Structure 1
């Protein structure tokens, strides 16, 4: 069988029973795919006869190889970024499709797919409007990293982490759905805690949306201010001169969108634990790796930001990176150095030129 026969809910999260026995299927997959290409086997049979966790993991490896080749050919290392908002949902859809084809109740997996599809739609739109899918677009941080890392070392970094490990990570954060799939043998319908988990997920997606929208509005207002020297409605000159947002959710967390993103996948993992009556399981690898990734990438982002804006270190002192530390939010101190002098000076020059033209 492509999934184990289990006796208890707790066994659904047991690595030795639900994962380890199927690892050999990973090594047999290339041969079976060759059989399909030669017309001696059916792709549908290969798909249903292969454990869904193993086939999903295999897909992530193949995609990692594709990301690697495309990145090296184009010398653009944001290939995984373009697929980031889509792949977890595709993997969950894979679990849902496999369950249906195998006659396993899929109602709970469909519920996970629902929140993931909403997550994908929102994040894909946000990435698109920031120009992420534009030809040649690359995360600005890679260029900075390349300035400090030898070329050979950076290529090794791409061959290991950027292309392959990130690709696998996008599968691992969706992997808890495999445990929920196995648990559906015992509890096929939606349970109260399933509905609670979905509600929390949707709340986190809403939080992420609000944070990104606040950032988007602020950045647009700042760029408009730089061009015209006029303060857009709803904003203050001092805030725009500062150069970075400190209002709304951003007054309580320096990265509320990142905090919500990490929480979304940790809640999915917690959902799988609750569904199997386990305190923890092997599926913690995905969200744990994601949290570590955000720690590193956020540190680099803030290092760059602190170098651009004089007030940012005071903002760091008052406001937590992810979790709030002050209930009152960010407060500007009177002795803080002027904010982004370059911005205010440029605005004044533009304003002076407009007055001269009017004369």
Structure 2
């Protein structure tokens, strides 16, 4: 079935590229339609009206339908997490949902015969990002039955069961779901700029994918370095010998990785992850010719999640490993320190021998 170019009601009327990033033009006018969208969707679903569903999808503003989907997931996350008392439900789809949203924008553009080169490029990268993150999560046992992020258990000990239920309502199952929609909204801007001017592709469309792939490669390298260290540490704890290990006995006794990228950043994988979504946001800025725009809320929220969770992770590490406090003083949390004394492996090994 051939669909026409989307009607004016589906996409905002913009006259300039900066208009494509104007919240009051591109998103705010559609928010009141959320209620009617849900009612219409329910009507088509109950009557099994597949052609109607397809037409509704293709003629609804894509940012609005994506937001509606994120809102619909909130009660699902809440019910499942409370039913099995496992608060890692959003964590389990963290590596999948952003790609689902990117795929949504690409499919919507294809259905409505809009230029899709930017959408296709972003989606291809997003698939790579999801595959890497999903594999890493699976490798750590995140999908095992009964597995749960230890941080939620620590928080539960601090605020109690009732407090955790309230936190689940206000943040875990709600804000995090919306955040996974928000970080993908730059794709909406890329879609709008392509519709406004199909010839707007420029240097940023080459530079942004290159930077994204570089960051993904560095993130993968950091995770592999950590995985290699943890495997060597487990073997050392089992045999009491650093057999066939690239790490010294002192490094294995220390208990945490301080080699490779981890020598310059305490969380190089987290740093790359945050930089990926900042780059996608910057791509939207460059495409629209704006210095900042409303889609930055998603990127800032993403940074906020890391800013809130990383200190808890480091608090646990500081309690387990005596030398971690020195590591914190010498090495930057995300970005390498440019001034002051950095990590000195030889010095730390001498300190360890004096104990």
Normalised to the residue count of structure 2, the TM-score between the two structures is 0.92
Q: Spell out the pairing of 1:162-181 with structure 2 (5 A cutoff).
A: 162-181=172-191
Quick one: which of 243, 251, 255 aligns to 2:255? 243
Deviations 1:275-299, CA, capped at 9 Å, x for gaps: 0000000000001011111011001
In structure 1, the gaps of 5 or more residues are 342-359
Cα pair 1:25 1:50 within 8 Å, conserved: no
Q: Spell out the pairing of 1:38-53 with structure 2 (5 A cutoff).
A: 38-39=46-47, 42-53=52-63
How far does residue 329 in structure 1 lie from its aligned partner after superposition?
A: 5.0
How far does residue 25 in structure 1 lie from its aligned partner after superposition?
A: 1.7
Report the secondary structure of 2:344's partner residue.
coil
- Residues 216 and 329 of structure 1: is their aligned pair in 2 closer, same or farther, counting only changes over 3 Å? farther
Cα pair 2:14 2:196 within 8 Å, conserved: no
How far does residue 102 in structure 1 lie from its aligned partner after superposition?
A: 1.4
How far does residue 6 in structure 1 lie from its aligned partner after superposition?
A: 1.2
Deviations 1:271-326, CA, capped at 9 Å, x for gaps: 00000000000000001011111011001000111011110010000000000005
Report the secondary structure of 1:42's partner residue.
helix
Cα pair 1:105 1:188 within 8 Å, conserved: yes
Cα pair 1:106 1:181 within 8 Å, conserved: yes
Moved more, 25-34 or 118-127: 25-34
Quick one: which of 75, 100, 107 aligns to 2:110? 100
Cα pair 2:250 2:352 within 8 Å, conserved: no
Equivalent-residue separation in structure 2 for 1:326 and 1:244 (angstroms): 22
Which residue number corresponds to residue 76 of structure 1? Answer: 86
Which residue number corresponds to residue 226 of structure 2? Answer: 215
How far does residue 335 in structure 1 lie from its aligned partner after superposition?
A: 9.3
Quick one: which of 17, 26, 36 aligns to 2:44? 36
Is 1:3 the counterpart of 2:16? The answer is no
Is 1:87 the counterpart of 2:101? The answer is no
Quick one: which of 295, 318, 329 aligns to 1:306? 318
Report the secondary structure of 1:282's partner residue.
coil
Normalised to the residue count of structure 1, the TM-score between the two structures is 0.91
Quick one: which of 19, 23, 37 aligns to 1:15? 23
How far does residue 187 in structure 1 lie from its aligned partner after superposition?
A: 3.8
In structure 2, the gaps of 5 or more residues are 1-8
Which residue number corresponds to residue 331 of structure 1? Answer: 344
Q: Spell out the pairing of 1:210-359 with structure 2 (5 A cutoff).
A: 210-233=221-244, 234-326=246-338, 330-332=343-345, 333=347, 338=352
Which residue number corresponds to residue 200 of structure 1? Answer: 211
Q: CA RMSD in A?
A: 1.7
Report the secondary structure of 1:127's partner residue.
helix
Give the ranges of 4+ consecutive aligned residues of structure 1 lying more than 2 Å apart after TM superposition. 37-41, 186-192, 326-329, 332-339
Deviations 1:186-208, CA, capped at 9 Å, x for gaps: 34264321111000000000010
Report the secondary structure of 1:23's partner residue.
helix
How far does residue 336 in structure 1 lie from its aligned partner after superposition?
A: 7.9
Cα pair 1:107 1:188 within 8 Å, conserved: no
Deviations 1:162-200, CA, capped at 9 Å, x for gaps: 111111111111111001100002342643211110000
